[in-house]
Amino acid sequence: MATAISSAQTKNPKRIGVIGAGHVGLVTAACFAELGHRVACMDIDVERVHELGKGNLPFYEPGLQELVLKHASDRLVFTSDYREAVGQADFVFLAVATPTTALGSADLRHVRSAARAVARVAGGKRPILVSKSTAPVGITETLASVLLAESNGDGPLRVVANPEFLREGTAIRDFLEPDRVVLGADDLAARDAVGALYEPLDCPILYTDIKTAEMVKYASNAFLATKISFINEIAEVCEKVGADVRGVARGMGLDPRIGSDFLSAGIGFGGSCLPKDVRALSYLAAVYGSHPQLLNTVLQINEEQRRRLVTRLRNLLGGLRGTRIAVLGLAFKPGTDDIRDAPALDLIRLLEYEEADVRACDPFAIGATQAHFPDISCESDPYLAATDCDAVILATEWPEFRDIDFDRLRAVMRRPVLADGRNAWDPEEARRHGFVYLGMGLPEDASQRQQRVLV
């Protein structure tokens, strides 16, 4: 994938250290190198660093490997040594994972540990520390306290909050062609210095205080999750009254106050951001004495979508015990191999609980899935996965699944049942090819009611 603005390079290159070679860190490092800066990307996982040095990425992101290879021999280096990443840096971007704890809060141990390590090796140059990790409101001030405690008489490092808005599958474009950049700081000189790094991108830069910048990230993801759960609740009503949720969503989306994005009914959201961030924001609200009913309901509706689809399939097939079900799509969305909080994993767990024989298929996420479900059969070919199956569930709308050959699929299946968890297939076309079709929030026609008896 060619980067659209590779010619927009800085006239004042800086030395940048990026701590963390996960999705956010690696994309940040590669894109700053693309903008002309000299970047050292550091991770404590020595094996990961070794593989990155050979051009092997730990995850799939379109166009990222090409960008890494483009700059690895010049502007971009990988290291497991904090001193190498921080010692000569003008800026250090902290992009360390903040997983969710059992209580729903963000686990900040890795972020604090990384900040302490940065402060200890920073030396006299005193780089600006930029907080890129998604963490609760107040984390940047917490990091400032950590840096002060580790300053060793040199004075604490200045800190700027810079939340990330990278979507898996489009992360390079999101970095190089952003809708906005958000920067929060108490030190205005530090804030402006970080802002200058983004000037070649020619995008709006929002300058705020630290806590407001941190809240922008959580509020944005919570709102997107709310839109998804809202349309899924409307979809259930549509099924009961005989309306088509796709038309409802189109009609709603034409209103510029609402917009059409994130109004696609289905089996709900997953991934490393929306579920984690909504849980963390709900936990934060409760800690401060608020009552996050809406946030909790958004999560409950999302979880219910998976159960609702399995219930409908059980009712259609007369039970799931002993049936063979193919799940097409394992990653939480197309364009990535990330299975964190993926709806497909919930579907597999529910089907296994009902003693169904589960087959699975995905272009990139098979290996990660088999680590969680060693007993299921995984195929890279959807027709092999569907062979002798009683039903096929579409969980992730990869292009190769959207464009599937219905005649070929029907020929290999034992019973002709499609459960479209993403409303990606044309119901009428599926029915013309002899399938019983279950969509999300779509009316069931009279001929299908007749077919249900025969399945």
Q: Convert the pLDDT of each residue in 345-366 to its tens digit.
A: 999 999 999 999 999 999 999 9
Under DSSP, the state recorded for 291 is -
Per CATH, the number for 15-208 is 3.40.50.720
Residue-wise pLDDT tens digits, 177-227: 999 999 999 999 999 999 999 999 989 999 999 999 999 999 999 999 999
Distance CA 335, CA 376 (A): 23
- Dihedral angle over CA of 389, 390, 396, 397, nearest 10: 90
CATH code for residues 209-455: 3.40.50.720
Per-residue pLDDT, averaged over 105-126, amounts to 83
What's the number of CA atoms in the CB half-sphere (13 Å) around residue 184?
A: 21
pLDDT greater than 50 at residue 2: no
Q: How many angstroms from the chain centroid is the CA of residue 70?
A: 25
Closest by CA position to 175, among listed 63, 46, 309: 63
pLDDT (tens digit per residue) in 303-318? 999 999 999 999 999 9
* 123/309: higher pLDDT: 309
Does position 34 have pLDDT exceeding 70, yes or no? yes
The percentage of the chain sitting over the pLDDT mark of 70, rounded to a whole number, equals 95
pLDDT confidence of residue 10: 75
CA angle 402, 405, 410 (to 5 degrees): 115
pLDDT at 125: 76
Is pLDDT of 5 > 60? no
Calculate the CA 72 to chain-centre distance: 26
Which two structure tokens, joined as six digits, stand for 391?
């039903």
Active site residues: 273
Binned at pLDDT 50, 70 and 90, residue 445 comes out as low
- The 10 Å Cβ neighbour count of residue 318 is 10
Q: Are 260 and 249 in contact (CB under 8 A)?
A: yes
Average pLDDT over residues 395-412: 97
pLDDT at 1: 39
For the chain, what is the mean pLDDT?
91
SS3 131: strand
What average pLDDT score do residues 252-281 get?
A: 94
Q: SS3 of 210, please?
A: helix
Q: Where are the domains of the chain?
A: 15-208, 209-455
Q: Do 15-208 and 209-455 agree at the fold level?
A: yes
Q: How far is CA 166 from CA 26, 92, 163, 261, 337, in A?
A: 11, 19, 10, 16, 15
**pLDDT at residue 214 in the model:** 93
Give me the pLDDT at residue 145, please.
83
Give the span between the Cα atoms of 308 and 343, in whole angstroms: 12
Q: Which of 145-149, 408-412, 422-426 has the lowest mean pLDDT?
A: 145-149
Mean of pLDDT values over 46-56: 94
Mean pLDDT over residues 250-272, rounded? 96
d(CA 169, CA 63): 9
Residue 277: φ, ψ to 5°? -70, -35
Give the pLDDT mean for 327-346. 96
Which SS3 state, helix, strand or coil, does residue 177 take?
A: coil
Average pLDDT over residues 121-148: 84
- Say what the pTM is: 0.89
448 pLDDT band, cuts 50/70/90, is low
Query: Is pLDDT at 51 greater than 50 in this prediction?
Result: yes
Q: Give residue 333's pLDDT band: very low, low, confident or very high (50, 70, 90).
A: very high
- What is the rounded distance in angstroms from the CA atom of residue 84 to the CA atom of residue 78? 9
Question: Which of 130-144, 224-238, 276-290, 361-375 is the least confident region?
Answer: 130-144
Residue 441 clears pLDDT 90, i.e. is over it: yes
Separation of alpha carbons 448 and 451, rounded Å? 5
Check: CB of residue 359 under 8 Å from CB of residue 385: yes
> Does the pLDDT at position 228 exceed 70?
yes
pLDDT of residue 387: 98
Find the range with the poorest average confidence among 87-101, 201-215, 412-426. 87-101
Tell me, what's the pLDDT at 156?
75
- Report d(CA 151, CA 141) in Å as an integer: 15
| For residues 279-295, average pLDDT | 92
Q: ∠ CA 188-191-197 to the nearest 5 degrees?
A: 145
pLDDT at 452 over 80: no
